[in-house]
Amino acid sequence: MATNIARNNPMIMASLEKNIFEHISLMSQEQIELEFRDELIQLQQMQQMAQQNPALQQQVQMLTQKIEGRKAVLIAEMMEEFMKEEKEITSQFDNDPIAKLRSRELDLRAMENQRRKEQDQERINLDKMKAMMNQSNQEEKLEQNEDLANLRADTSIQKTVLSKTLPNAKDMMPNVEIIRSGNE
């Protein structure tokens, strides 16, 4: 676990821990077989007789619980020892300057990625605002063009109506002779 390969690869670490847990289980089973050699033989005999004699079933359960309880205590002790050793090994990681540099590098990359993400979001928001403003300007121009077209149409209609309803402009003007002064 203390090697660089294992420290830098979570898959290897997980495999090592799984293997260690299996060994702890096997070691506790071996210890039980040594401590309870006579009881295990007696348990096997009692299990065979318990099928014929139900009164022995309670004794079989009590003996089984006693053995399993001891196995649980052994596993807990071994796990505690493993945890202490693992903590000691992993505390060495904290003192490793290369690991600290890599950790810092990962933190900086994460901060840079976050900054880029925020910039991209701001750029997207700005583009959306520009698009909305352009659309608004286009709509205003269309409305203005429509208003101007309506005014031109109204003016044209009014001119047409005026030209039809009013007599000729020449007829309406008084006949005025211009007298020129001077040498004519």
For residues 128 and 136, is the Cβ–Cβ distance under 8 A?
Answer: no
Residue-wise pLDDT tens digits, 46-55: 888 877 777 7
Q: Report the pLDDT averaged over residues 3-17.
A: 83
Burial class (CB in 10 A: 0-12, 13-18, 19+), 138: exposed
Handedness of CA 55, 59, 62, 65 (dihedral sign): negative
Q: Report the pLDDT averaged over residues 145-166.
A: 87
* Helix (H) / strand (E) containing 31: helix 10-35
Separation between Cα atoms, residue 130 and residue 136, nearest integer Å: 10
Alpha helices by DSSP H, the chain: 4-7, 10-35, 37-50, 55-94, 97-165, 169-172
Measured CA to CA in angstroms, residue 19 lies from 91, 110, 131 at distances of: 21, 33, 60
Residue-wise pLDDT tens digits, 69-127: 999 999 999 999 998 988 887 776 556 666 677 778 888 888 998 999 999 999 999 98
Residue 174 pLDDT exceeds 60: no
Burial pattern 60-91, b for ≥16 Cβ within 10 A else e, equals beebeeebeebbeebbeebeeeeeeeeeeeee
Can you list the positions of beta strands (E) in the chain? none
Indicate the SS3 state at residue 33: helix
Query: What's the pLDDT at 184?
Result: 47
Displacement of CA 44 from its chain's centroid (Å) = 55
